[in-house]
């Protein structure tokens, strides 16, 4: 895998920061995270906003069709314009389109669910998944967010970042224990990431959800910067210790194929094994 020690710097909030816009974006994010439509009071509470502020912002967003209101049930949900704007991200990279065929191949080969995720604001955001045929499976719906330090895709993304970015994210996000297996020591996390680089894949050993294991590898762009991560996830009953190296090698090859399709440089030996 090709990676560079530096990654592009992110813009930080400064004098141009607009609080009302930030609050409106928070409302959209809370709606996007919800499994169903929300009442205004529930939405305001989740966004940490007073009801009058939430009402004013939602009314504005509704006029621009970013949210929609069901007058009969009194519920708010994401509007069509949010989909239009969000969907504009996809053609820019063609990431999902390029990845889905390979993800389906990987699912059929392994018998486990495949996931695709990118980093956003110090978290992993799932873009797509291909569920396995087995009734007992593990997957994350598109749009769901998960901490980087305790998930397979997250650790794969972290392992390909610069040391400065790793330090910043771990400092800003912290390491909170979610399961008994969650790594909460910065030193152990860095050691785990170093092992991930050497292996070519990251391993989530029930660190995010009990009974679920995950292996994942990073995908790089044409400049050698990490773009996304692809993973295989499933119950511990199927992802046993002896299968982990085999699944890890498979997901690393899949990540290399996607990287190559996107114009990135990869180890040709990995591609020759596909």
Domain endpoint, select from 85, 117, 136:
85
Which CATH number belongs to the domain containing residue 179 in this structure? 3.30.450.40
Looking at the structure, tell me whether residues 97 and 116 fall in a common domain: yes
Q: How confident is the model at residue 123 (pLDDT cuts 50, 70, 90)?
A: very high
Average pLDDT score, the chain:
87
Which CATH number belongs to the domain containing residue 79 in this structure? 1.10.10.10
Q: Domain for residue 12, yes or no?
A: no
Looking at the structure, tell me whether residues 155 and 102 fall in a common domain: yes
Domain boundaries, position 248:
92-272
Looking at the structure, tell me whether residues 34 and 151 fall in a common domain: no
Looking at the structure, tell me whether residues 69 and 190 fall in a common domain: no
Q: Beta strand 212-220 with 226-235: parallel, antiparallel or unpaired?
A: antiparallel
CA–CA dist 126, 140 (Å, integer):
7
Q: Domain for residue 10, yes or no?
A: no
Looking at the structure, tell me whether residues 155 and 49 fall in a common domain: no
pLDDT at 254: 96
Q: How confident is the model at residue 2 (pLDDT cuts 50, 70, 90)?
A: very low
Looking at the structure, tell me whether residues 25 and 74 fall in a common domain: yes
pLDDT at 12: 47
Domain endpoint, select from 55, 85, 115:
85
CA–CA dist 196, 79 (Å, integer):
40
pLDDT at 90: 59
pLDDT > 90 in the chain, percent? 69
Looking at the structure, tell me whether residues 190 and 213 fall in a common domain: yes
State the pTM of this model. Answer: 0.69
Instruction: Estimate to the nearest angstrom the gap between the alpha carbon of 252 and the chain centroid.
Output: 17
Tell the residue number behind the tokens 């049930």, with chain if given: 73
pLDDT at 271: 54
Q: Give the count of domains, the chain.
A: 2
Looking at the structure, tell me whether residues 99 and 56 fall in a common domain: no
Q: Domain for residue 2, yes or no?
A: no
pLDDT at 177: 95
Q: Domain for residue 6, yes or no?
A: no
8 A C-beta contact, residue 145 and residue 124: yes
Residue 252 phi, psi (nearest 5): -65, -40
How do residues 49-77 score in pLDDT, each as one tens digit? 999 999 999 999 999 999 999 999 999 99
Looking at the structure, tell me whether residues 145 and 55 fall in a common domain: no
> How many angstroms separate the Cα of 94 from the Cα of each of 45, 161, 244, 263?
36, 22, 29, 12
pLDDT > 70 in the chain, percent? 87
Q: How confident is the model at residue 121 (pLDDT cuts 50, 70, 90)?
A: confident
Residue 18 phi, psi (nearest 5): -110, 110
């Amino acid at each position: 895998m090709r990676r560079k020690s530096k990654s592009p710097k992110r813009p930080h909030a400064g004098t141009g920061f607009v609080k009302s816009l930030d609050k409106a974006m928070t409302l959209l994010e809370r709606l996007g995270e919800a499994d169903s439509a929300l009442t205004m009071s529930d939405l305001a509470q989740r966004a940490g906003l007073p009801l009058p502020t939430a009402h004013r912002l939602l009314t504005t967003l509704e006029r621009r069709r970013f949210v929609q209101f069901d007058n009969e049930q009194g519920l708010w949900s994401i509007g069509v314009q949010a989909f239009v704007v969000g969907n504009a991200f996809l053609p820019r990279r063609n990431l999902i389109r390029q990845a889905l065929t390979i993800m389906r191949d990987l699912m059929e080969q392994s018998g486990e669910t495949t996931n695709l995720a990118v980093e956003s604001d110090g978290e992993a955001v799932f873009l797509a998944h291909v569920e396995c045929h087995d009734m007992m499976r593990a997957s994350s719906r598109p749009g769901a967010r998960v901490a980087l330090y305790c998930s397979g895709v997250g650790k794969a993304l972290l392992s390909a970042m610069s040391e400065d970015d790793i330090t910043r994210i771990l400092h800003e996000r912290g390491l909170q224990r979610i399961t008994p297996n969650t790594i909460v020591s910065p030193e152990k996390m860095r050691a785990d990431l170093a092992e991930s680089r050497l292996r070519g894949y990251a391993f989530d050993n029930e660190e995010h959800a009990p009974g679920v294991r995950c292996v994942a590898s990073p995908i790089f762009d044409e400049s050698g910067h990490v773009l996304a991560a692809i993973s295989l996830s499933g119950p511990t009953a199927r992802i046993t210790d002896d299968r982990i190296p085999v699944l890890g090698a498979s997901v690393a090859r899949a990540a290399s194929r996607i990287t190559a399709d996107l114009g990135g440089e990869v180890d040709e030996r990995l591609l020759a094994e596909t």
